[in-house]
Structure 1
């Protein structure tokens, strides 16, 4: 056109747009995706490991409690009825188990007496052990109340075994023979009450220091004194 100047670019001239910023964003996105993938893989493994550790700890505690229950049953037998080397070794083993797991090791004199000529009292040693373990005292799971001792005895043996909580004890309180599983901590009581409620939905947890602060051993049960 007249009066206008025209400029022509060489035909081989090309314009390039920097893409460094876009590539940098792509790299961060790749890192983020990789991090999420690693986390998705690691978290289930970590949770599985933690769950296994907790389960192992619970199993060990259950095993220790069963050993203590067995040792207690052995030491409650009169050692003078059958004084044999096998019986003596069995009682020595029971003393070692209680010393190891109760948290309150007994003196040498007490251990010797239990092996030679003394039966283990029903509650005294147990109370010493549990009071040292739990400042608030022992805990109980009450899963039955009967008008007769015979009915309560069935509950603390057959019914308790069906619940999977082991043998329990009978406490007479307010004129009723109560079936109670006594344990050393609130956490253990909460675990047991869940099992008991499958068979007896009305089962509940009590703090023995307030529910039955003092008791007297009777023939086949414990008589709770009035608070």
Structure 2
């Protein structure tokens, strides 16, 4: 009899524990559902809440947020543009070397040129690998970056970067092309970190998004930047604005 009572009690507590586990799982799933809907329907608000709460980054049901990702994304895109310019310059050097090799009869000089060409070829291969890696990272972060920008939209000054060039003349030509063929008027040239960048300004993030859609018709690597943090302590020069600090 005592054994039967003990077994009944054990069975009762086992059922209570099982119900408790099921209830905990149900509450967990319900909480995840609420968070999932928040990420899906209100990504900017949710991202802002998580950042203010002190979370640097996180992942729920495969959906992520990350503080500072927008800034890192801009740095990647700037690196991508710089690599692109360097590639063009490297191509120019290769063409000059080929011409020099054709015009010289000096065997020692030809050997030196061939060695330089071989090194250039290796650099080009490594550069292509880096470009692919950077492009993949930028692409995978695109939606997250957009949500992060909207969540921290504390500035009313946004810019769409139309192109990055090595000289002021090239940047001016880029602005003319966007104006005449793509309807993007009043682009401004900024000098930052050794390059000339064509920028069209927008009063808010939504307008910047519309301009970006137009800009991407010419260059797929165009992107949006928050002007108050992207170009600090600027000064007007002859034909462009120089950013004295990041």
TM-score category by the smaller chain? 0.3 to 0.5
Q: Could you say which structure has the larger radius of gyration?
A: 1
Larger helix share, 1 or 2 = 2
Normalising by structure 1, what TM-score? 0.40
**TM-score relative to the length of structure 2:** 0.37
